[in-house]
Structure 1
C-alpha cells in the first residue's frame, strides 16, 4: 500500500487539459452531429425531438445511455465505502451494486404502463403522468420533488468530480485553500455540459452516452487489471476472507439502499425520458436490462477495490487514519502517473454523462405546458442555467456525497407510493369486505404530506433535533427537519460505521413509503365519502394552463371484484376503457 510520504502530484495544468479535453470532445461531437442532421432551426426554436427524442433510440442505445447516465463520479466514493467497511462488506457491496440497477427493473414494468396512460406521442416524463392521472396539484408536487432530487444529484456530481481533481493534484479537500480550484472545476463541468445539451437537447445526451458508455467500460477494465496486478496490492485468500464477510449491518444497508435508490430514481426525469425515447417497449426493456447489468458490474468493481484496500491496511481503516470512502485512491496512488490521468478521464466522462442527463431531465419538467401552449422551449434552457448556478454554489460547500443522497432519497420516499398508486384508476372490491378506492388527487397529495410527517415523527421518536456529521462536526441542519439527514448514532452516542448503517435508518426507509401509500388510500376514501364523484376530479385548476383539461383524471368509480374477476377479461376491459388517441392528445397536450 501507499506509504505516508506518498501523495498525488498530477500538475494542475495537465489536469485542466484532461478536463477540458474530455468535455470539449463531447461538445464537438454534438456540434458535428447537429450540422450533419441539417436542422439548424431547431437550435433557436427547439422542437418535440429536442425534449423527447421520441421513439428514436434502439435497445443498445438505451442500454448504453442508462449505463452511462446512471454512473457518476460519485461511484468512487459509494461502493468503495461499503467494501472498505468490514461490518458492511459483501452485503453492502452487493446491496449498493444491485440496488443501483434495481430502478431499471422497475422501469421495465412501469415504463410501458405510464407511457400508455400518458400517450406514446404526447408525454415526456413521469411528471406528465402526475398531471394526466391526478391534476395540477400533484403535478406541481411531483415537479418539486423531481427537481429537488435532480438538483441534489447535480450537486453531488459537481462535488465529487471537484474533490477528485483536488485529490489527484495534491490539494486538500478539507480546508479552504483549494475551494477556488474545486469551484472552477464545477463551473467548467456545468458550462461545458450545458453547452451541448442546450444545443441539441436529449438526442445529444443519448448520442454522447453511447461513446461515454464504451469509454467507461474500457477504462474500468484497464483499471481492474492495473490495480490488481500491482505487487503491493497482492493478497492471500486468507487475508481477503478475514477482512470481509456477511454481516447483519451489511444486510440492513442492503434493505435501506433498495428502497432509497428505487424511490429516488423513480423521480429522475432524465431516466424517464428514455422510456419515451425508445423505439418500442422491447427496445426499452432490453435497453434497461443491458444497462442494469453494466451498472451492477461497475459498482461491484469499485466495491471489491474497497475490500482490497481495507484488507491491505486494516489497522489504518479501523482507526480512521484512512477513510473508507477514499479507499479507491489508496489503491490508485502507487500506480504510475499515466493511470492517474486515465482515472481523471474516466471520472470526467462519468460526471459528464450524469450531469447532461440531469440537465435534460430538469428541462423536461416544463415541457408539457410550454409545448401545449405554444410557448418557446427556450424557457427550459433558462431553468437549467438557474439550477446549474445554484448547484455550483452549493457544491462549493463540499458536503459529503452519501449524506446528500440520503436527504434526497428520503424526500422521494415520502411521495413515490402515492404517485404510482395512480396506476390504479378503478375501485377494487376485496372479497366483498371492503373497497380500495382509486386514489384521488387530494388523497394522493395528503398521502405525500403524511410521508413527510412520518419522517418528522421518526426524528422526534429518535430524539434527533440536530444533524451533525459525527466525524467532522459539521452541522447540516437544526430543528424538526434535521432527521432528513439521517445522522443517527448508536445508543451510547457513538457514530455508526457508515452513513447508511443502523436499524433506525432501515426502519425509516421501510415505514415512510408504507405510511404515505396507506394514507393515500385512506384519505382518498375519506375524500370520496365527503365529496362523492366530485372528489375524482382535479382538486386544483390553474386558469389558462388547465382550460379544457377537466377530464385529466380518470379514477373511475367502477368496482372491480378481485375474487371473481377474470384477468383476461380485465385486460380486455382496460383496452376498451382506453380513450381514443385524439382525446389523449387533448388531455396531455401533444405538440
Structure 2
C-alpha cells in the first residue's frame, strides 16, 4: 500500500508540474507577475476556486459543523467567498486607477502614501507565509493519517513541485494548473464525500460532545468567521494578481461570481459532512477531525483518492501563494529582474518548509494575522472613496489595533489580559477582537473623512 500511495502522490505532482511547465513562459517581469489582460471569466472562476481551497477545508469547516452547527458553516462558506465578490465589485475601479498595477500595496501607496503601503505589504506577507506554512503542515498530517508514508515526504514533494513550475512560468503556470486542479478537486470531493456518507452507520446516536451550539453562539461564531476570513483573504496577493490578469472588467466580475458561488458550495458541503459525522455518533478523535472520522467508516480504498484530494488542495493553494509572494517581493524591492523574482520565490520557501517540517500547529499565528488584517481592511478599501485622506486611513488602521484590544480591556480591566485575549490563547477565535477592530477602524476613518472639507483627494506617493 505504501508503494501505491507514493506512486499516486508522485503522479499527481508530476501531472501538475508538467501542466505548469507547458504554460507559455513569461514575457518579461510584468507578464510573469500579472499575465496582464489575458484571462477569461471561466478561467478566473476556476482559478479563484482552486486558489482559495486548501487542506484547511478538510479540517476547519467539518469541525465547525460538528461542534457549532449549520449556521456557523454558512458563515464560514460566506466568509470564504466574500473576498472574490469584493474583488469583483471593487476591482474595476482599482484597475482604472492603477492600469499598470500589480498589488494591493501599490494601491495603498497611490492613495495613502509610503507608510500605508509598507504596512499593507507587511500584513500581506505575514498572512501568506502563515497560509503557506499551514498548508504544507496539513499535507504532511493528511499523509500520515491516511497512509503509512512519512508526511514530510509529501510536504517536501508539494513544496518543490509547485516551486518548479511557478518559478518558471509565474502566474500563467498557476492559472493553467488551477483549471485542472479545480475540476480534479470537485470530482474527488464528490467521490470521497458520497462514498463516506454511504458508509455511515444507520440509527447511531449523535456524539454527546458534538451537539450544535445555541443559536446566539452559532451566530457569533459565524460572524467571527465572516470577518476573519474575509479580512485576511483580502490581503492575499495571489487574488489581487488575478484582478489585473482579467481580460476586462466583465470577465473579472463574472469570474468572481463563479469562484464565489463554487466556493460557497464546496465549503458548505464539507462542513455538512462534519455535521453528519457528529450526528451519526462517530468518534471524532482528539483533536477532533470529523472528515477523517467519516473515512474511518468507509472502505479502505477510499483513503487513496482522499489523499490525492488533499495533495490537490494543497498544491492549488501553495502555487498561488508562491506567486503572490514573488509578486509582492519583486514589486516592493523596486521592480527587480525576472530572475530575481524567481530567486525571491525560492528563498521565501526555505523558512516556510522548515516550519512545516516541524509539524507544529500554526493556528494561533494564523488568527493573529487574520486580526491584524481586520484592523486595516476597511480603511484600505475606503480608499475608493475620494473624501478619505491619508491621515484618516492611517488613523483608522491605528484605531483598529486599539479596537482589537478594547473588548478584552473592558471585560477584564487589565491591559495584559486584553492583549492575551487578542492573541487567541488556545487557538480559539472569538468575536470581540475582530468586531472591535472592524468597528473602530471604520468609525475613525469615516468620521475623520466626513469632518474634513469635501475636496477631491489627490494621490500621494
TM score, norm. by length of structure 1: 0.71
Taking the TM superposition and a 5 Å limit, the aligned residue runs for 1:249-328 are: 249-313=217-281, 316=283, 322-323=285-286, 325-328=288-291
Contact 1:78–1:325 (Cα < 8 Å) also in 2:
no
User: In the alignment, what sits opposite 2:428?
Assistant: 499
Residue range with higher mean Cα deviation, 56-65 or 455-464: 455-464
> 1:439 aligned to 389, 392, 402, which one?
389
> 1:58 aligned to 40, 61, 66, which one?
40
Offset of residue 284 of structure 1:
1.0
- How far apart are the structure 2 equivalents of 1:297 and 1:245? 22
- How far apart are the structure 1 equivalents of 2:413 and 2:53? 32
> 1:337 aligned to 300, 303, 306, which one?
300
TM score, norm. by length of structure 2: 0.90
User: In the alignment, what sits opposite 2:349?
Assistant: 388
Q: Is 1:109 aligned to 2:89, yes or no?
A: yes
Offset of residue 383 of structure 1:
2.6
Aligned residues: 459
User: In the alignment, what sits opposite 1:415?
Assistant: 376
What are the superposed Cα offsets for residues 359-382 of structure 1, whole Å, 9 maximum, x if unpaired? 111111144466xx6631332223
Residue range with higher mean Cα deviation, 16-25 or 148-157: 16-25
- How far apart are the structure 2 equivalents of 1:30 and 1:345? 18
Contact 1:94–1:254 (Cα < 8 Å) also in 2:
yes
Classify 1:246/1:302 alpha carbon distance in 2 versus 1 (closer, same or farther; 3 Å): farther
Offset of residue 509 of structure 1:
1.4
User: In the alignment, what sits opposite 2:29?
Assistant: 47
Classify 1:464/1:196 alpha carbon distance in 2 versus 1 (closer, same or farther; 3 Å): farther
Taking the TM superposition and a 5 Å limit, the aligned residue runs for 1:64-213 are: 64-85=46-67, 88-119=68-99, 122-169=100-147, 181-213=150-182
Q: Is 1:518 aligned to 2:443, yes or no?
A: yes
- How far apart are the structure 1 equivalents of 2:446 and 2:66? 43
Give unmatched runs, 5+ long, in structure 2.
Answer: none
User: In the alignment, what sits opposite 1:25?
Assistant: 15
- How far apart are the structure 2 equivalents of 1:72 and 1:299? 11
Contact 1:243–1:307 (Cα < 8 Å) also in 2:
no
Contact 1:84–1:306 (Cα < 8 Å) also in 2:
yes
Contact 2:206–2:281 (Cα < 8 Å) also in 1:
no
By relative contact order (CA 8 Å, sep 6+), the higher-ranking structure is 2
Offset of residue 183 of structure 1:
3.7
- How far apart are the structure 2 equivalents of 1:374 and 1:331? 49
Contact 1:411–1:452 (Cα < 8 Å) also in 2:
yes
> 1:355 aligned to 318, 323, 338, which one?
318
- How far apart are the structure 1 equivalents of 2:212 and 2:404? 33
Over the aligned positions, Cα root-mean-square deviation in angstroms equals 3.0
Contact 2:64–2:271 (Cα < 8 Å) also in 1:
yes
- How far apart are the structure 2 equivalents of 1:250 and 1:402? 20
Q: Is 1:214 aligned to 2:183, yes or no?
A: yes
- How far apart are the structure 1 equivalents of 2:6 and 2:54? 19
- How far apart are the structure 2 equivalents of 1:21 and 1:452? 46
- How far apart are the structure 1 equivalents of 2:32 and 2:243? 15
Offset of residue 404 of structure 1:
4.0
Give unmatched runs, 5+ long, in structure 1.
Answer: 1-9, 172-180, 427-437, 467-477, 489-497, 537-550, 554-586
What are the superposed Cα offsets for residues 261-293 of structure 1, whole Å, 9 maximum, x if unpaired? 111111111011111111111111111111111
Offset of residue 326 of structure 1:
0.7
Contact 1:278–1:284 (Cα < 8 Å) also in 2:
yes
The structure in which a higher percent of residues are helix is 2
Classify 1:401/1:323 alpha carbon distance in 2 versus 1 (closer, same or farther; 3 Å): farther
- How far apart are the structure 2 equivalents of 1:250 and 1:374? 46
Offset of residue 29 of structure 1:
1.5
Residue range with higher mean Cα deviation, 397-406 or 73-82: 397-406
Offset of residue 89 of structure 1:
0.7
Contact 1:458–1:483 (Cα < 8 Å) also in 2:
no
- How far apart are the structure 2 equivalents of 1:148 and 1:249? 30
Classify 1:16/1:109 alpha carbon distance in 2 versus 1 (closer, same or farther; 3 Å): same
Please state whether the residue corresponding to 1:54 is helix, strand or coil. coil
Q: Considering only CA atoms, is the larger Rg found in Structure 1 or Structure 2?
A: 1
Contact 2:398–2:441 (Cα < 8 Å) also in 1:
yes
